[in-house]
Amino acid sequence: MFGGTKLKLDKDLIARLKRISDTAGYATVEEFITHILEKELQNFEGDGGESDEDIKNKLRGLGYIS
């Protein structure tokens, strides 16, 4: 899964992801999760011109880091 990297996810979350990925027509849950992560990363990376500090400030503003 994910190119050899293993992630632990809550069973309830996996069940929700599976249900939605099936409904949306994704071939696998992994494909769906990859799509979600790529889309979310675009929100932080923008056009690639943002500095690490800009990204940290966005994450801080969203409550992901303190």
pLDDT tens figures, 42-54:
877 766 667 888 8
In a domain, residue 26? The reply is: yes
Find, among 10, 17, 49, the residue nearest to 36 by Cα. 17
Q: What are the structure tokens assigned to 19, written together?
A: 């249900």
Q: What are the structure tokens assigned to 18, written together?
A: 């599976």
Span 9-38, mean pLDDT? Answer: 94
Contact residues for 18 (Cβ-Cβ < 8 A; gap 6+) = 29
Domains: count for the chain: 1
In a domain, residue 45? The reply is: yes
pLDDT for residue 26: 93
Domain extent, residue 23, equals: 11-61
User: Band of the pLDDT at 3, cuts 50, 70, 90?
Assistant: low
Q: How far apart are CA 40 and CA 28, in angstroms?
A: 19
| pTM to 2 decimal places | 0.64
In a domain, residue 49? The reply is: yes
Q: How far apart are CA 58 and CA 51, in angstroms?
A: 11
pLDDT for residue 40: 86
